[in-house]
Every structure is written in structure tokens, then in C-alpha cells.
Amino acid sequence: MRSLFERLRSRRLASAYIVLATLSAAIVAGSLAAHGVRGQEQQNSSTDATPLKIVNSPIQPNEFVKIAKQVAPAVVNINTQTLPKQSDNRDRRNFHFRTQPNQNPDDDGQGDDDQQDGNDNFQDFFNRFFGGQIPQQPDGGDQGVQESLGSGFIVDPRGYIITNNHVIDKADKIYVKLSTDPDTQDLGRPARVIGVDKATDLAVIKIDTNVPLPIVRMGNSDEAQVGDWVEAIGSPFALAQTVTAGIISAKNRTIEPGASGQFQHFIQTDAAINPGNSGGPLLDMNGNVIGVNTAIYTQSAGYQGIGFAMPSNTVVSVYNDLIGPSHKVTRGSIGIQFREGLSGAVNRVYGFKNGVLVQEVQSGGPADRAGLKPGDIITSIDGRPIKDGDDLVNEIASRRPGSTVRLGFLRDGKPDDTAVTIGDRDKVFADLGNPQAPENPQSSGDAGETKLGVVVHDIAPSLASKIHSSGVEIESVRTGSFADLQGLAPGWVITHVNRQSTATRDQFEAIVSKLKSGDDVVFEVIDPHHPEEGINYIGGTL
């Protein structure tokens, strides 16, 4: 086993130590030359100097020390290898969160296995801290084999380990090194994948063992409070068994917008977390795991005081599904899509404060069979009021397929309810297609330009048939206008304004002409290039 220094050197980290050491030597040499002190040590007497002594003054171990000793044996270092044939030339040190449209299906399947770069402000700052690639080994290793590092922790003495999916994703070989494994054991023990859940970025792997292994205790993340002390253990930069501490700085933090982040509500912490900590435990002061370290906020790919851990209550639920017969997480779905972050104007025009405005109903899905329609506002599940989209998703996803719930909803301002049989989200959304973009008709007309800054025209019959709706198409949007500030774009089709149909340009003009300053204005629009997204509700105060 190479020394720690040699291993750091192989990862291009030792260069920093070498530079510092060389610089220090140069400074000393320059000082000696400048002051002419070389050789003076033999001319000066030190008989009056008193030798130093080490004083034994035992310090009682604090809670961080106790927790580190208790938990560290169950924290493991994970090494992976990806063969050249499966290399995709990506730098695994920077896994950017993929940006999704701000549209939430009540469950979106477990796709998104490709970590594509988004074009939003988040991508430059939110990075999964995987640990980086190790340069190919000169001592007989396969040329071009990529190695990466991460962390994990043992939860079952028979060798079951929890980590992040991105730690082992696409790896051909996975190795686990225990804290007690000898240094001569280079990569560690072979491990196999039991199951993964990409929606929460969690994975369960297993190593074989002849003796029971040390394990961690899973705590209740719901009981954790902002301001509580926490401790993290992992292998940042391949420095195994590294312990850092901090506090919980926030809870229920969603950092990836849209459907991709709807099952990711993190604990935020300022405990120092760096590349290689990914998959390691976040511990409370009782030594219980309350989170799995998953992501960091950074502008430098290193620690900047903000890290994110998947809460233990979510982890336990996912783990129990992954070790089951199907080795997958089954989530409920009712087959609808909705949009988060609606403006206050939308709520006022549609007459609700809390609830979920249905944007699209999957044809033939559970909600469709129960009679729900776009524009309905879901207000309760089995009599319990629904606060928002996250509340709805969490409640529905936790139900088993085949079970029945009663949904309360508003339609045209009138309360109603219906029984819905929960479906399996993978199956409910399996038939979602990607319709091709419709053709662009010739432009004409300029309705709404004066008040809203938008020019519209009647849509062609071919476009109406393709989007299965009537309306007016946006020809242009004036920069800085009300329509521009709301995000309207040329090519979109406006089907309603303030719940009134705009099937023709004349209807659109009539409605707009009655608007005055201070009025709430809500557009129902369809993007013909993405008709599968259904109706979008956009609005503000004029």
C-alpha cells in the first residue's frame, strides 16, 4: 500500500505540499544568506536553556469525540472503476444539477439518469461532490480505467451499505474499504448493487463478510431542528475517516427546481463537506444518522459553508423498498401535472389560497378515470387540506398503487370530491410521448399591444387540431411590457384570459379592453413546441 503522501501525489494534491515545502526551504535559505547566521549555532552557548517537558493534562472527551469513536468504524470508503468502453469523458468532480422546466407531474418516473447541463443559474453553483477521478495507474493498472471515490455507511451487520447513487452510477467495479481493513488491501472489498433510486439519489450496495460488521443507528430527521449541532464523517479527497462539525442551517431545502427535485428536500448544514464526502453520514449529537451527505453549494467545487443531506426519514423509506423483492422504490401517482410557484394573481383569480391547480390530466390515468380536469383545484386528500404541490406529491407518492383516496377539489369555484385509485407512477407516465413541434402559421394581427405589449393573431386550424385547443397565437412581445415581464413568448397560444375564452382575436381584444391598472391578469397558455406540458398558468397585477 502506497503511503498517504504518495496517494495524495497520485491525485495531484501533493503538488501543493511540494510547492509549500520548496517555498519554505527557499525562504529559510534566503534568510540565512541575508543575515549571515549559518554556523553561529556552534559559537553560542545554550547551557542556560531549560528542556521542555510534556505535561499530562487529560481533557474529557466532548460529544464530537465520542460520536467519532462510536460511528467511524461503520463509515466506509467507496472506490469505483469505470472501464474505457463506458467512459463518457465527463469530469466526475462536477456533477451539475439538471434543470427541468418548472412543471411538476405528481410523479415523474425515475428517468433523468443522464446528468445534463442546464442553462440556469443553479448549474454553476450546485455540484454533487463525487470525489473526482484518480489518474490512471502506472503500476500495471488498465490504461484508461477511471477511478472515483466516495463514502458510505453500514446499516446491517451482514454488509448492507447506504450511499449516493451518483457515487456508484455507471461504475463497472465497486470496492468498499472498512476502517479496519489493512493498508495492504489496496482498493477494498468487492461490492454489488442491491438497488438504486435516482429520484432521491440513493443506493444500497452489499459486501460479503464472515463476521458481523459495525453499524450506525438511523435517527429521526423530523425531530432535528435548525441550530442543532451535527457531525459529518467521510472521505473527502480520499482522506478517509475525516470528521467535521457544524450546525443545521436550514431544513426542507429544495435546490433542484421542477420534477427532478420533487423528492429531494434536504437538510442544509455548514459542517465542512467536500468532494469525497458524498454518501457519508450526517450525525446528530446522539450519534444517530439524520442525513446522507449529497450535494454542496459552491463556486469553486470545494467547501463554502453550505452542504445538503438527504433526511434519514426519506433514506429509511427508500432503503426498505430497495432491499425488498423488487429492489426498487414504488411510488403512487394519480396522473396529473401542475405548476409550482404560481403568482398571487393566479390564486386570486381562481379563488384559492391553498391547493394545487391541475395543469394537465394524463389521458386514461387515475385522475382522468376519476373525472378530474385541467383547471380543477385539488384542496384535500381524505379530508385533510392540501397546502401545496409538495404536500400533494408527498401524500400521493407514499400511497401504495391500488389503494383509494378521496380528493376534494374546486371546479369553477364550486367544491366537489371524487374517489381516485392510486396508480404506479412508472406505469402511469410510461406512455407520455413527445409530440413534434407544430408548423408556424403566417402572422397577422396586433391585439393587446397597447395595454399588455403583446401582438396576437388567430391560430391556423392545423395548429388548433395539434394542440387540441382554440386560442390566439402570440406574434410578438414588446420588451419591458407587462406580457414580457410575465414571461410570455412568441409562438405561444393564449386560450384564456382571467378564465374567459380567447378562441378568437376579437374575443381576446374584448377582454383586454376592459382591463385597467391594478387588475389581476392571468393567462392560460400552451407552448406548441411542448404541447405535452399542457396548460400553463401565468399572471400578475397590471
CB atoms within 10 A of CB 388: 14
Known catalytic membership, residue 333 = no
Alpha helices in 360-494 (DSSP H): 366-369, 389-397, 425-428, 449-452, 461-467, 482-486
Q: Which amino acid is at 327?
A: H
Buried b (16+ CB within 10 A) or exposed e, 157-185: eebbbbbbbbbbbbbeebbbbbeeeeeee
The CA distance from 493 to 361, in Å, is 19
Q: Which amino acid is at 197?
A: D
The CA distance from 516 to 147, in Å, is 63
Q: Please provide residue 9's backbone torsions phi and psi, each rounded to the nearest 5 degrees.
A: -65, -40
Known catalytic membership, residue 412 = no
Query: What does each C-alpha distance from 308 to 108, 129, 197, 204, 265 come to in angstroms?
Result: 22, 10, 17, 19, 9
For residue 267, the cross-strand partners are 309
User: Of the residues 10, 106, 151, 166, which is catalytic?
Assistant: 166
Residues near 387 by beta carbon (within 8 Å), at least 6 away in sequence: 354
Give the CA-trace dihedral at 503, 505, 510, 515, to 10 degrees: 90
Pairing of β 266-269 and β 95-96: unpaired
The CA distance from 379 to 376, in Å, is 9
Query: What does each C-alpha distance from 381 to 104, 376, 405, 449 come to in angstroms?
Result: 18, 14, 7, 43
Residues near 437 by beta carbon (within 8 Å), at least 6 away in sequence: 528, 529
DSSP 3-state percent helix, strand, coil across the chain (nearest 5): 25, 30, 45
The CA distance from 279 to 203, in Å, is 9
Alpha helices in 136-253 (DSSP H): 165-168
User: Of the residues 148, 221, 278, 312, which is catalytic?
Assistant: 278
- Which cell goes with 106? 405528481
Query: What does each C-alpha distance from 317 to 30, 138, 218, 460 come to in angstroms?
Result: 63, 43, 11, 50
- Which cell goes with 256? 433542484
Residue 223's SS3 state is helix
In which residue are the cell numbers 399588455 written? 452
| DSSP state at residue 451 | H
User: Of the residues 201, 284, 458, 520, which is catalytic?
Assistant: 201
Known catalytic membership, residue 278 = yes
Q: 343-346 contacts: CB < 8 A, separation 24 or more?
A: 343/538, 343/539, 343/540, 344/520, 344/541, 345/520, 345/521, 345/522, 345/539, 345/540, 345/541, 346/522, 346/537, 346/538, 346/539
Q: Which value, in Å, is the radius of gyration of the alpha carbons in the chain?
A: 29
> Which residues does the annotation mark as catalytic?
166, 201, 278
